[in-house]
Amino acid sequence: MSIERLLDVMQRLRDPKDGCEWDLAQDFSTIAPYTLEEAYEVVDAIQRSDLNDLKDELGDLLLQVVFHSQMASEQNAFDFDDVVTGIVDKMVRRHPHVFGDTVFKDTAEMKASWEATKAQERADKVGSSSESIASTLDGIAMALPALKRADKIQKRAARIGFDWPEAEPIFGKIEEETAEVREAVASNNRAAMEDELGDLLFSVVNLTRHYEIDAETALSRANEKFSSRFRAVEQLAREQDADMSAMTLAELDALWDLAKRG
């Protein structure tokens, strides 16, 4: 089945006369959360190695692209074909060694070319807007998960040398930020606590980046590890006919230690 069938379905859903009331009521901002959710569900299917589910989730994500394209076409802004043309042109432009005569001597040179092309694209985009000065940080999406966005911000800054040359000084920075968190807590200033905790998290992301560990992935694994052990604690409590909410912290810690050994 071709993409045309899906485009036709979405056009019918958005038909002002015979379309679906819910679909007609939507706009870019109301659909955006669904787009984000579908992207996460694609990643979840991949992490679970469920290819059948991945097929379904990719379809759901594709529907989001078609939905946004249909709404844009109704405003005479762009349509699905424009979206396809844009990404095709971008991929050809960013791969001159595949679609042109460019020869890179190594992966580092190829990566440098890729980044240079992206930087030029950002500069061209700024040049075509009301902005007059391009920033190294332009193009980093505000809607990214905070850990991922922190990583991208730091990597962009590092491209122009705004970075520690090695990881060791970051440990000192983390200790400094931890001390500032303690000061904010002691002052009972919630705004300061939020600010300093944010700085601490940003520094931890910096450390993961220097060791080439994805912060989002690391925290996701920590989440799953905690969840797995907590479920084990719940099971142990059930086996003892114990009410976890009535147990002391010491008793819960004992079950936690058992769960870790298990």
Per DSSP, the three-state class of 135 is coil
Q: Which two tokens stand for residue 84?
A: 């396809």
- Specify whether 16 is located in the same domain as 78: yes
Closest among 24, 21, 11, 10 to 62, alpha carbons compared: 10
Reported as a single tens digit per residue, the pLDDT across 218-248 is 999 999 999 999 999 999 999 999 999 999 9
Reported as a single tens digit per residue, the pLDDT across 125-140 is 766 555 556 788 888 8
Strand residues in 49-149 grouped as ranges (E)? none
Residue 24 lies in a domain: yes
pTM equals 0.68
CA distance 222 to 207: 16
DSSP string, 208-238: HHHTT--HHHHHHHHHHHHHHHHHHHHHHHH
Number of domains in the chain: 3
Mark which of 61, 79, 94 sits at the end of a domain. 94
Which domain CATH number covers 52?
A: 1.10.287.1080
How wide is the angle at C-alpha 68 spanned by C-alphas 65 and 74, nearest 5°?
A: 135
Residue 229 lies in a domain: yes
Residue 126 lies in a domain: no
Residue 113 lies in a domain: no
Per DSSP, the three-state class of 160 is coil
- Which residue range forms the structural domain that includes residue 247? 218-261
- Specify whether 247 is located in the same domain as 176: no
Mark which of 69, 94, 119 sits at the end of a domain. 94
- Specify whether 44 is located in the same domain as 86: yes
- Specify whether 166 is located in the same domain as 230: no
Q: What is the pLDDT of residue 132?
A: 54
